[in-house]
Structure 1
Amino acid sequence: MKNNVGGIDKILRIVAGLGLIAWAAVGNGPAWAWIGVMPLATGLLGTCPAYSLLGFNSCPLKKD
């Protein structure tokens, strides 16, 4: 798969994902907080299926 998540977008996804997972894991958070797995995965992998469907790309352009 082609990377379409880059820079600040990647960092925000990882932080938000970890935050939601931690919230759910400590027992105080609602069950839906486990949705944090998705932003964490897309941030770590650098690919977002929704971005692919919408034709969006937050990766910087590479100069040849």
Structure 2
Amino acid sequence: MLTANLGNMDRLIRAGLGLVAFFAPLLNVPPIWSSGFFAYLSMIVGLVLIATATIRFCPLYRIIGISTCSFK
């Protein structure tokens, strides 16, 4: 079982940034995403951010020992 280590504000920020990172290449704004590599990379990062916000768990936080969750 994964122990939650993301607080509500952290989840909101991750979800927002994840949505922007996922949809920006589809809109091609700014045009840096004309390159397929950067477009796919941005979309993958966006999906990871959205997934971690959804499940309230960040593996990197676990490794570093950080928790923004207010309950334990």
TM-score range, shorter chain: 0.7 to 0.9
5+ residue gaps, structure 1: none
Provide the identity percentage.
28
Deviation at 1:11, TM superposition (A): 0.3
Q: Distance in 2 between matches of 1:60 and 1:4?
A: 9
* Candidates 29, 42, 53, aligned match of 1:43: 53
TM-score, normalising length: structure 2 = 0.76
5+ residue gaps, structure 2: none
1:53 corresponds to 2:63: yes
Q: Distance in 1 between matches of 2:51 and 2:57?
A: 9
TM-score, normalising length: structure 1 = 0.84
**AA aligned opposite 1:36:** G
Number of residues of Structure 1 aligned to a counterpart in Structure 2: 61
